[in-house]
Amino acid sequence: MQGLIFDIRRFSVNDGPGIRTTIFFKGCPLNCFWCHNPESRNPFQEEMIVNKPLDGVQYSQAETVGQWMTVQEVVSKCLLDTAFMSESGGGVTLSGGEPLFQPDFTEALVNELSLLGIHVAVDTCGYASREIFERLLPKVHLWLFDFKGADIEKHKENTGVKPDLILQNLDFLISQKAEIILRYPVVPGFNDTEFDISALFHLLDKSRGRIKEVHLLPYHRLGEDKLRRLNISKPHIIPKSNSTAAARAIVSALASLPVTVKIGA
Ligand code: SF4
């Protein structure tokens, strides 16, 4: 069995506890306009222009994004750093794109890592069938669950899907007492209104302490250059106001909850 992977990052410290190896899956069911990894969205290999310095001069060349890998090939990369992982309380994080978009490969990889006693975190947009969550639940130690907003129409317009399934899956994980860190991309004009912040507040309140941590991820513009290098002309909607200021306002609004709220991952 093979999975389509577009990057493997070693020594990551922003994708869960400790030092981690992060596996980036290619393919995502959403199409968020702010996506800072647009090369992760298509579930197939594609060309992207990369700039490389050589003897002080910048060269541009097309490179293929995405590599088909077996479970054993991915596990071998993870095994390079198990000493750092156990020393730091780290592990492996499956990210993307969307790992649950390749469910059979993800399940096989999680099973293998679990047999090796490696801590596994899954970073997900939450848009997958309940059955996939049920299959993975016993072996995943931590869910980094993206919640992008509760306004149904804005969510559909800006990500391509309604939030209902995502919220149902989040409820399911909460009901199963899973470990969850909620990740909230702060995109001014999309999910920083009073309605949005109130919806986030109630969601956390309703989790009855199951969600202990929220990471607010301010919008940034890294994806724009990548869109150009992928030759995608889709307009990138640039929020007019400051996303870090919006994130600070959200921190204040959530202050009365028993939840650790961080800006950044
Ligand atoms: S869910 Fe994540 S990877 Fe998928 S399009 Fe949105 S931001 Fe990009």
Q: What is the CATH number of the domain that holds 42?
A: 3.20.20.70
- Selected residue with higher pLDDT from 206 and 58: 206
> What's the total number of domains in the chain?
1
Determine the structural domain holding residue 223 and report its residue range.
2-263
Q: Is 100 in the pocket of ligand 1 (CB under 6 A)?
A: no
Q: Is 128 in the pocket of ligand 1 (CB under 6 A)?
A: no
pLDDT of residue 242: 81
pLDDT bucket at 237, cuts 50 / 70 / 90:
low
Tell me how far the alpha carbon of residue 51 lies from the centroid of ligand 1, in angstroms.
Answer: 24
100-112 average pLDDT score: 98
Q: Using only the alpha carbons of the chain, give its radius of gyration.
A: 18
Work out whether the CA dihedral 93, 99, 103, 105 comes out positive or negative: negative
Q: Is 166 in the pocket of ligand 1 (CB under 6 A)?
A: no
Say if residue 251's pLDDT is above 70: yes
Q: Is 28 in the pocket of ligand 1 (CB under 6 A)?
A: yes
In angstroms, what CA-CA distances link 262 with 120, 198, 218, 251?
A: 22, 18, 11, 8
DSSP annotation string for 32-62: -TT-S-GGGSSSS-EEEEEEEEETTEEEEEE
Mean pLDDT of the chain: 94
Give pLDDT tens digits for 174-220: 999 999 999 999 999 899 999 999 999 999 999 988 898 999 999 87
In angstroms, what CA-CA distances link 91 with 11, 123, 125, 217, 240?
A: 10, 13, 20, 22, 38
pLDDT of residue 135: 97
